[in-house]
Amino acid sequence: MPNTVLVTQSLPDQYLDSLAEHAELDVLEADQHLSDSALAMRRAACHGVVCTLTDTIDRDVLQDMENLEFVSSVSVGVDHIDVSALSARGIAVGNTPGVLVDTTADTAFALLLAAARRIAEGDRYIRDGKWTASKRWTPDFFLGKDVSGSTLGIVGLGPIGQAMAQRAAGFGMTLASWTPSGREVTGVRSMPLEELLATSDFVSVHVALSDTTRNLIDGARIATMKPGAVLINTARGGIVDESAVAAALDDGHLFAAGLDVFEEEPVPADSPLLKHPRVVVVPHIGSATASTRRKMVDLAVANAVAALRGEPMPYCVNPEVYTSL
């Protein structure tokens, strides 16, 4: 009997065709979720999963997947997958590193500029008919925050953090960083997180979400940020305490925030963040360009095809599963 691969979201035909050369495909409908109880039999039958970051693969979901041999996610982040549970069963998990670095850094820098210069707020102001003869250009009209000449604190100096540093250097910003690995990069002054938060005009988050980074930027740390600072998050929602950000904006401690990611996605309509005019929000589109998404799917399919051929995945987050066989 051929292997079955459960594909959680429909992919362009050419990708489904290459997977179909190696396995039978079971593609979920748009309104179906991997964890749906009605899908228990389909979960049990599958040997591999091709998923995205919206599919939670935790111990509950894994319970009835006794035939599972690999998971390939169309994402670089794998916080939606219980990797240690899969590693314990010798199951390889693939991801898509490298190909979304510049696209995500572009988004982070776009949010930084938009938050600093109140771009989304200005757009809404005009569309809402508020730009009138009596409310127009004056020396103090719609003042923002200088980007050039200010300090950017980068939390997490992996490839995306470094790409953010390159962009910021082009804008004449001074660069500071704190990173869990202690990595040093020329032109970026590394320092303790507390010092970075206290001295940076802009703080941009680029660490992966893990047990050690969950709630890293919590209320206590936000309180130590430089007054009038701007917080940017294109990493994962769970790293930043959203209610503390909203409170710090309300009391004027933070000037603005630019957010691509949220603790709960889609962000609930009643989130306090959405009430604040200086929060620029976008719906997790950090990597959303056609060419980058194509490259991500290319890697995810290459990972799945390798696994179906019995070869190691080229991009595997738990390669120890191959050596511990």
Active site residues: 236, 265, 284
Of 101 and 246, the one with the shorter C-beta distance to ligand DGY is 101
Which listed residue (48, 77, 153, 237) binds ligand DGY by CB under 6 A? Answer: 77
Q: Among residues 81 and 197, whose Cβ is nearest to ligand DGY?
A: 81
Tell me the residue number closest to ligand DGY, measured at CB: 77
Residue from 19, 49, 76, 232 binding ligand DGY (CB under 6 A): 76
Residue 1, judged by CB atoms within 10 A of its CB (0-12, 13-18, 19+), counts as exposed
User: Least separation, in Å, of the C-beta of 100 and ligand DGY?
Assistant: 6
Is 111 strand, coil or helix?
helix
Taking contact as CB under 6 A, which single stretch among the options 73-81, 195-203, 223-231, 309-317 is the one that binds ligand DGY? 73-81
129: tokens are: 């008919």
Least distance to ligand DGY, CB of residue 107, Å: 8
How would you classify the pairing of strands 254-259 and 279-281?
Answer: parallel
- Region binding ligand DGY by CB under 6 A among candidate stretches 71-79, 122-130, 190-198, 224-232: 71-79
d(CA 188, CA 34): 42
Identity at 243, one-letter amino acid code: S
Rounded to the nearest 10 degrees, how much is the dihedral formed by the CA atoms of 206, 207, 209, 210? 180
Minimum Å distance from CB 292 to ligand DGY?
Answer: 9
Beta carbon nearer to ligand DGY, 77 or 153: 77
User: Minimum distance from CB of 80 to ligand DGY (Å)?
Assistant: 9
Q: How far is the CB of 79 from ligand DGY (least distance, A)?
A: 8
User: What string of DSSP letters covers 136-182?
Assistant: ---TTTT-----TTSEEEEE--SHHHHHHHHHHHHTT-EEEEE-TT-
Alpha-carbon distances, residue 69 vs 51, 87, 244, 253, 322 (angstroms): 14, 11, 41, 49, 12
Token representation of residue 226: 């430089």
Minimum CB–partner distance for residue 75 and ligand DGY (Å): 3
Choices 32-40, 57-65, 69-77, 247-255 (CB under 6 A): range interacting with ligand DGY: 69-77
Total of chain residues touching ligand DGY, rule CB under 6 A: 7
CB atoms under 10 Å from CB of 127, counted, come to: 9
User: Rounded to 5 degrees, what are φ and ψ at 159?
Assistant: -55, -40
Do the strands 4-7 and 189-190 form a parallel or antiparallel pair, or are they unpaired? unpaired
Tokens (6 digits) for 65: 């997947």
Residues shown for the chain: 325
Selected range binding ligand DGY among 70-78, 224-232, 238-246, 263-271, rule: CB under 6 A: 70-78
Are 164 and 206 a contacting pair, CB within 8 Å?
yes
Contact positions with ligand DGY (CB under 6 A) in 276-315: 286-287
Binding mask 8-47 for ligand DGY (x = CB under 6 A): ----------------------------------------
According to CB under 6 A, which one of 75, 179, 200, 318 is a site residue for ligand DGY? 75
Give the range of 25-33, 74-82, 157-165, 216-224 binding ligand DGY by CB under 6 A.
Answer: 74-82
Given a contact cutoff of 8 angstroms between Cβ atoms, the answer to whether 90 and 325 are in contact is yes
Number of CB atoms found within 10 A of residue 252's CB: 9
165 makes contact with ligand DGY (CB under 6 A): no
Interface residue list for ligand DGY (CB under 6 A): 53, 75-77, 100, 286-287
